[in-house]
Amino acid sequence: MALTPADILGPAGLIARRLSNYEHRVQQMELADAVAEALRKGRHLVAEAGTGVGKSFAYLVPAILAVAAAQEEKDSPGGGEVQGSKPLKKIVVSTHTISLQEQLLYKDLPLLTAVLPLEFTAVLVKGRRNYVSLRRLETALGRAGSLFNTEEELDQLRALRDWAKGTTDGSLSDLTFKPAGAVWDEVASDNSNCLGKKCPRYKDCFYYQARRRVFNAQILIVNHALFFSDLALRRAGGSVLPKYDAVIFDEAHTLEAVAADHLGVSVSSGQVQYILNKLYNDRTNKGLLVHLHCGKEQRQTLHCSQLADDFFRDIHNWLQEQTEKNGRVHTPGIVGNSLSPALIGLAAMLRQRSDDVEDEAQRLEFVSACERLITLANELEVWRTHAIPEAVYWIEATQSRRGRPQIRLEAAPIDIGSVLRQELFEPIHSVIMTSATLAVGRQGSFEFFRSRVGLTKADTIRLGSPFNYHQQVKLILVDDMPDPTQDRKQFDARCIALIRRYIARTDGRAFVLFTSYDMMRLAASQLTAWLSEQNLALYSQADGLPRHEMLERFKADPRSVLFGADSFWQGVDVPGEALQNVIITKLPFSVPDQPLLQARLEAIRCRGGNPFMDYQVPEAAIRLKQGFGRLIRTQQDRGIVVLLDPRVRTKRYGQILLESLPPCEVIVESAYDTQASDA
């Protein structure tokens, strides 16, 4: 008799028999049943499940049962389709954060492998450039003198040589250091620079070993970025992933943002200059063309470099002249483009030169550079001519260390829904989307999320958390605060005073979440002396410390405070006493003049909708839920969430935001109550 999710996850199931401290969660069982039914019936499912439900087991178990049933049917005499349903031979599980991927790979799947009396295979899928090419590494070592400019780069190359002799994985994640981009670019596995089965290191190749595991595996663990890169490639006739039958997205609230990033165009002045310098750098007299004595191609490379300087300078000058300061480009053809034809011309010269190169490895270096030049030339012209329909185009300019502006040209589809319907929801048997934060308001509507991803027909389920928020958390709202939209200076000053008040209340052990780096820097500068007096450590994201390092230091030091923006609102897990206080300074509304958001709001307005209520409020509600969710991660956690923005009580939409949060005790305190600091 076939196993069911209840046989595994139930109170007397296989996991409960294995783990003495196993907690049966009704919500987890309900989610597992919903996922199993969606997979079995070929339906799409949108599922919100609160923190602590155990979402990963709830979707992994049905996925494993589905692929195991398909394999059993295939192996049985006269194997055919599972009665009444399509056999699901391969299921993709996609996450947004590395931490969740690691949880699946190193905790959840090993336990399920040990517990289940079933044979199944699961692998992590990484992009090709994550793997070292042993042949390219040997080539780079032989040509190091003409490739690299610094002793540090040469030291890293030698370290990679030593590492490659002992690694079993061969990927960046197995390295103990982060190599410079210029170094890794010379040794990374590359589709256009690969000999395939002709390569003398083919049998040892880390990428092809991983590729074989991927094609033989039944469950593929990927991240959203890789998934949507693959989706974009499929539209152009290529692919990274093998054919799959179903997809499960965890952390699905990030889908629109990640999909938009990968279904548009992004090309920078740095990318163009990098490939040209790799071919020939006249300042250092190094590069591929120097090594092979290609004088004519060197001259064309210098010509392209000059044209690139002219092209991006024209872009920058155009940007400087605009009254609209967000970089958005409304009309095509704002500058001419002599650069793309020159890059294509250089590519043709490299292609011709490659025909005369006898050494296969060297020939591939030319072919790879040729393909990169053509790709860049095409992307520049696609952006310049606005060749992607229904997209928004914009320019981002930053200053480099040398003072020269770095220009990035961006384009993204305004509405990803139509693409996802055609490329994902229609062809794929079942798509499961789950997160702790998908629904908005008291009724828990999924309308906002579904409209943004273009999902018109789907099953839905909303499950609360097993945590007792009424007992575990107090939500503190603050009266008498200045409105940040009307009196920003007064709001900032009062906000900083209250941050001090609430940090003191929990003696540190606090996250302070900001919506802008400017406000974070101001708060850090004004609170540093006081924090020093209290002997409280401060870890501020504005200081540039890597996120994982900030988290590790915060966890190790109970009397500390972490100032975070952007990435600290979600995907950060600090269970236990280290975190007892989350202070949210402002409601997390996106800046409405950001080009992509601006275009989305305009599209809603053109359809007769209300951009603020239809988009900005639901989006802020989901982000607020994410920030709130940083506090309670286990049944034992206790603490306070402090919301300093007065609009949550003074504006009509504030009720929607509050009703989107888990129900908990709400306390209102005055911003000017001197007694509150000792409460």
DSSP result, 86-114? -----EEEEESSHHHHHHIIIIIHHHHHH
Q: Residues 287, 383: one domain?
A: yes
Do residues 387 and 449 both lie within one domain?
A: no
Tokens at 619, concatenated: 């989006």
Does residue 385 sit within a domain? Answer: yes
Query: Sign of torsion, CA 490 510 544 187?
Result: negative
- Of 149, 183, 212, the residue at which a domain comes to its end is 212
- Tell me what pLDDT residue 476 has: 98
* Statement to judge: residues 185 and 115 lie in one domain: no
According to DSSP, residue 613 is labeled I
Point out the residues of the chain with pLDDT beneath 50. 81-83, 677-679
* H or E segment and range at residue 463: strand 459-463
Same domain assignment for residues 601 and 512? yes
| Domain edge (last residue) among 413, 448, 482 | 413
pLDDT score of 358: 75
Considering the domain architecture, whether residues 54 and 84 belong to the same structural domain is answered as: yes
Separate counts of helices (H) and strands (E) for the chain: 29, 18
Give dist(CA 131, CA 202) in Å, integer. Answer: 13
Strands 219-223 and 91-95, by their bridges, are parallel
Q: Which domain holds residue 596?
A: 469-678
The tens digit of pLDDT for each residue in 409-456 reads 999 999 999 999 999 999 999 999 999 999 999 888 999 999 999 999
Does residue 637 form part of some domain? yes
289 and 404 co-located in one domain: yes
- CA dist., res. 460 & res. 48, Å (int): 8
Burial (0-12, 13-18, 19+ Cβ within 10 Å), 407: buried
Predicted pLDDT of residue 14: 95
Query: In whole angstroms, what is the distance from residue 248 CA to residue 556 CA?
Result: 34
Instruction: Fill in the amino acid letter for 366.
Output: F
Query: Considering the entire predicted model, what is its pTM?
Result: 0.92
Q: Which residue has the tokens 């409105």?
A: 483
503 found inside a domain: yes
Domain CATH number, residue 354: 1.20.120
Give residue 674's pLDDT: 59
Look at residue 12 and tell me if it is in a domain: no
- How far apart CA 32 and CA 446 sit, in angstroms, is 19
Distance, in Å, from the CA atom of 532 to the CA atom of 677, rounded to the nearest integer, reads 19
Q: Quick one: 628 and 538 in the same domain?
A: yes
Where is 375: in which H helix or E strand?
helix 360-385
**Do 501 and 604 belong to one domain?**
yes
Is residue 490 one of the residues assigned to a domain? Answer: yes
First and final CA of the chain: distance in angstroms?
60
Question: What pLDDT, on the 0 to 100 scale, is given for residue 546?
Answer: 85
- 246-249 and 510-514 beta bridge pairing: unpaired
Q: Is residue 324 classed as helix, strand or coil in its secondary structure?
A: coil
> Count of domains in the chain?
4
| CATH code, 250 | 3.40.50.300
* Residue 585 forms part of a structural domain: yes
User: Are residues 140 and 282 both part of a single domain?
Assistant: no
Same domain, 436 and 477: no
Q: Are residues 164 and 95 in the same domain?
A: no
Residue 4 in any domain: the answer is no
**CA 118 to centroid of chain Cα atoms:** 32
Indicate whether 655 and 640 sit together in one domain. yes
Other CB atoms within 10 Å distance of the CB of residue 14: 18
Q: Tell me, what's the pLDDT at 79?
A: 54
The answer as to whether 21 is a domain residue is no
